[in-house]
Chain A
Amino acid sequence: MKLNIEGLLVYFPYDYIYPEQYSYMLELKRTLDAKGHGVLEMPSGTGKTISLLSLIVAYQRAFPLEVTKLIYCSRTVPEIEKVVEELRKLMEFYTKETGESNNFLALALSSRKNLCIHPEVSSLRFGKEVDGKCHSLTASYIRAQHHSNPNLPVCRFYEEFDSVGRQVPLPAGIYNLDDLKAFGRRKGWCPYYLARYSILHANIVVYSYHYLLDPKIADLVSKELAKKSVVVFDEAHNIDNVCIDSMSVNITRRTLDRCQNNVDTLQNTIHKIKETDAAKLREEYRRLVEGLKEANVARETDIYLANPVLPDEILQEAVPGSIRTAEHFVGFMRRFLEYLKSRLRVQHVVQESAPQFLKDIFDKVCIDRKPLRFCAERLQSLLRTLEIADIADFSAVTLISNFATLVSTYSQGFTIIIEPFEDRTPTIANPVLHFSCMDPSIAIKPVFQRFQSVVITSGTLSPLDIYPRILDFRPVTMASFTMTLARTCLCPLIVGRGNDQVALSSKFETREDFAVIRNYGNLLLEMSAIVPDGIVAFFTSYVYMENIVASWYEQGILENIQRNKLIFIETQDAAETSMALEKYQEACENGRGAILLSVARGKVSEGIDFVHHYGRAVIMFGVPYVYTQSRILKARLEYLRDQFQIRENDFLTFDAMRHAAQCVGRAIRGKTDYGLMIFADKRYARADKRGKLPRWIQEHINDGSLNLTVDEAVQLSKHFLRQMAQPFRQEDQLGLSLLTLEQLESEEMLQKITQIAHQT
Chain B
Amino acid sequence: MTSLSEEVLLVVKKVRQKKQDGTLYLMAERIAWGPEGKDRFTVSHLYADIRCQKISPDGKAKVQLQLVLHTGESTTFHFANESTALKDREAAKELLQQLLPKFKKKANKELEEKNRMLQEDPVLFQLYKDLVVSQVISAEEFWANRLGGINNTDPSPYNNKQEVGISGAFLADIRPQTDGCNGLRYNLTADIIESIFRTYPAVKQKYSENVPHNLTEKEFWTRFFQSHYFHRDRINTGTQDIFSECAKQDEKGLKSLVTQGVKNPLVDLQSLEDKTLDEGYGICTTQPSTSNANKSVKDSSNSAIIKRFNHHSAMVLAAGSRRGELASDQASETSSTDGNSRDSDFFQPPVKKVKLQEAIEFEDLQRENRPKTVPLNLKKSDRYAHGPVPLQSQQYTTSQDIINSVNYIRHEMANYKPSLTQVLSSTAATSAIAALSPGGVLMQGGAQQAINQMVPTEVQGELKHLYVAAGELLRHFWSCFPVNTPFLEEKVIKMKSNLERFQMTKLHPFKEKIQRQYLSTNLTGHLEEMLQTAYSKFQIWQTRRMMRKT
Decide if B313 touches A567 in the complex (CB within 8 Å): yes
Decide if B363 touches A246 in the complex (CB within 8 Å): no
B residues near A670, Cβ cutoff 8 Å:
362, 364
Is the CB of A137 closer than 8 A to any CB of chain B?
A: no
Docked pose: A47 CA to B359 CA in angstroms: 11
Least CB distance, B59 to chain A, in whole angstroms: 29
Is the CB of A110 closer than 8 A to any CB of chain B?
A: yes
Decide if A248 touches B282 in the complex (CB within 8 Å): yes
Decide if A578 touches B270 in the complex (CB within 8 Å): yes
Is the CB of B287 closer than 8 A to any CB of chain A?
A: yes
Q: Using known A-B contacts A123-B343, A583-B314, determine if residue A81 contacts B287 with beta carbons closer than 8 Å.
A: no
Q: Which of B267, B277, B342 contacts A245 (CB 8 A)?
A: B277
B residues near A47, Cβ cutoff 8 Å:
362, 365
Is the CB of A640 closer than 8 A to any CB of chain B?
A: no
Decide if B345 touches A571 in the complex (CB within 8 Å): no
Is the CB of B393 closer than 8 A to any CB of chain A?
A: no
Decide if B268 touches A578 in the complex (CB within 8 Å): yes
Classify the secondary structure of A's interface with B: helix
Q: Using known A-B contacts A207-B274, A422-B290, A553-B305, determine if residue A582 contacts B281 with beta carbons closer than 8 Å.
A: no
Decide if B272 touches A244 in the complex (CB within 8 Å): no
Decide if A246 touches B277 in the complex (CB within 8 Å): yes
A residues near B359, Cβ cutoff 8 Å:
78, 82, 609, 611
Q: Mark A75-91, 1 if CB is under 8 A from B, else 0.
A: 01110111001100100
B residues near A119, Cβ cutoff 8 Å:
343
Docked pose: A50 CA to B306 CA in angstroms: 40
Decide if A581 touches B274 in the complex (CB within 8 Å): no
Q: Which of B232, B352, B362 contacts A178 (CB 8 A)?
A: B352
Decide if A181 touches B277 in the complex (CB within 8 Å): no
Least CB distance, A3 to chain B, in whole angstroms: 13
Interface size class on chain B is 35 or more
B residues near A110, Cβ cutoff 8 Å:
274
A residues near B258, Cβ cutoff 8 Å:
573, 575-576, 578-579
Is the CB of B269 closer than 8 A to any CB of chain A?
A: yes
Q: Which of A123, A208, A564 contacts B275 (CB 8 A)?
A: A208
Decide if B168 touches A565 in the complex (CB within 8 Å): yes
Docked pose: A708 CA to B466 CA in angstroms: 66
Docked pose: A700 CA to B144 CA in angstroms: 66
Looking at B69-77, B204-212, B296-304, B377-385, the stretch in contact with chain A turns out to be B296-304
**Can you name the residue of chain B whose Cβ is closest to the Cβ of A121?**
B342
Decide if A608 touches B310 in the complex (CB within 8 Å): no
A residues near B52, Cβ cutoff 8 Å:
none
Q: Which of A211, A550, A560, A738 contacts B364 (CB 8 A)?
A: A738
Q: Mark A208-235, 1 if CB is under 8 A from B, else 0.
A: 1011001011000000000000000000
Least CB distance, A250 to chain B, in whole angstroms: 5
Docked pose: A737 CA to B280 CA in angstroms: 48
Is the CB of B367 closer than 8 A to any CB of chain A?
A: yes
Decide if B280 touches A251 in the complex (CB within 8 Å): yes
Our count of residue pairs bridging A and B at CB distance below 8 angstroms stands at 241
Least CB distance, B441 to chain A, in whole angstroms: 57
A residues near B280, Cβ cutoff 8 Å:
249-251, 255, 395-396, 399
Docked pose: A573 CA to B364 CA in angstroms: 38
Q: Using known A-B contacts A85-B357, A585-B267, determine if residue A241 contacts B169 with beta carbons closer than 8 Å.
A: no
**Can you name the residue of chain B whose Cβ is closest to the Cβ of A46?**
B362
**Can you name the residue of chain A whose Cβ is closest to the Cβ of B279?**
A395
B residues near A611, Cβ cutoff 8 Å:
359
Is the CB of A436 closer than 8 A to any CB of chain B?
A: yes
Decide if B172 touches A559 in the complex (CB within 8 Å): yes
Decide if B356 touches A547 in the complex (CB within 8 Å): no
Decide if B306 touches A82 in the complex (CB within 8 Å): no
Is the CB of B133 closer than 8 A to any CB of chain A?
A: no
* Among B259, B265, B285: residue with most chain A CB under 10 A: B285
Decide if B172 touches A563 in the complex (CB within 8 Å): yes
**Can you name the residue of chain B whose Cβ is closest to the Cβ of A124?**
B342
**Can you name the residue of chain A whose Cβ is closest to the Cβ of B313?**
A566
Decide if B283 touches A632 in the complex (CB within 8 Å): yes
Is the CB of B82 closer than 8 A to any CB of chain A?
A: no
Looking at B90-98, B316-324, B415-423, the stretch in contact with chain A turns out to be B316-324
Is the CB of B159 closer than 8 A to any CB of chain A?
A: no
Q: Using known A-B contacts A571-B306, A632-B283, A670-B362, determine if residue A77 contacts B321 with beta carbons closer than 8 Å.
A: no
Q: Using known A-B contacts A16-B364, A549-B306, determine if residue A574 contacts B313 with beta carbons closer than 8 Å.
A: no
Decide if A248 touches B281 in the complex (CB within 8 Å): yes
Docked pose: A15 CA to B356 CA in angstroms: 21
Least CB distance, A575 to chain B, in whole angstroms: 5
Docked pose: A441 CA to B339 CA in angstroms: 42
A residues near B303, Cβ cutoff 8 Å:
546, 571
B residues near A603, Cβ cutoff 8 Å:
269, 272
Q: Using known A-B contacts A395-B279, A587-B313, determine if residue A730 contacts B269 with beta carbons closer than 8 Å.
A: no
Is the CB of B374 closer than 8 A to any CB of chain A?
A: no
A residues near B278, Cβ cutoff 8 Å:
128, 216, 395, 399
Number of interface residues of A (CB under 8 A): 104
Docked pose: A564 CA to B313 CA in angstroms: 12
Q: Using known A-B contacts A119-B343, A399-B278, A568-B310, determine if residue A78 contacts B272 with beta carbons closer than 8 Å.
A: yes
Q: Mark B496-533, 1 if CB is under 8 A from A, else 0.
A: 00000000000000000000000000000000000000
Decide if B261 touches A127 in the complex (CB within 8 Å): no
Near A by CB (< 8 A), chain B positions 156-205 give 165, 167-169, 171-172
A residues near B216, Cβ cutoff 8 Å:
none
**Can you name the residue of chain A whose Cβ is closest to the Cβ of B167?**
A563
* Among A15, A178, A217, A566: residue with most chain B CB under 10 A: A566
Docked pose: A594 CA to B6 CA in angstroms: 53
Decide if B169 touches A560 in the complex (CB within 8 Å): yes
Least CB distance, B88 to chain A, in whole angstroms: 39
Least CB distance, B439 to chain A, in whole angstroms: 54
Q: Which of A123, A178, A558 contacts B309 (CB 8 A)?
A: A558
Decide if B169 touches A563 in the complex (CB within 8 Å): yes
Decide if B274 touches A245 in the complex (CB within 8 Å): no
Least CB distance, A733 to chain B, in whole angstroms: 6
Least CB distance, A74 to chain B, in whole angstroms: 9
Near B by CB (< 8 A), chain A positions 64-109 give 76-78, 80-82, 85-86, 89
Q: Using known A-B contacts A549-B302, A578-B262, determine if residue A76 contacts B313 with beta carbons closer than 8 Å.
A: no
A residues near B363, Cβ cutoff 8 Å:
672
Q: Which of A216, A241, A556, A581 contacts B269 (CB 8 A)?
A: A581
Decide if A569 touches B301 in the complex (CB within 8 Å): no
Is the CB of A562 closer than 8 A to any CB of chain B?
A: yes
Least CB distance, A427 to chain B, in whole angstroms: 8
B residues near A15, Cβ cutoff 8 Å:
365-367
Q: Which of A208, A550, A575, A594 contacts B259 (CB 8 A)?
A: A575
Q: Using known A-B contacts A15-B367, A566-B168, A608-B267, determine if residue A241 contacts B283 with beta carbons closer than 8 Å.
A: yes
Docked pose: A207 CA to B283 CA in angstroms: 23
5 pairs of A and B residues whose beta carbons are closest in the complex: A559-B172, A562-B169, A208-B274, A14-B365, A566-B313
Instruction: Write 28 A-B pairs (CB below 8 A) sorted by A numbering.
Output: A18-B365, A47-B365, A50-B362, A85-B356, A89-B360, A111-B275, A114-B271, A123-B341, A208-B273, A208-B274, A399-B278, A428-B290, A436-B283, A549-B305, A549-B306, A550-B301, A556-B172, A562-B172, A564-B168, A575-B261, A578-B261, A578-B268, A587-B317, A594-B313, A608-B267, A630-B284, A632-B283, A670-B364
Give B contacts to A, CB under 8 Å: 165, 167-169, 171-172, 232-233, 254, 257-285, 287, 290, 293-294, 298-299, 301-303, 305-307, 309-310, 313-314, 316-317, 320-321, 341-343, 345, 349, 352-353, 356-357, 359-360, 362-368
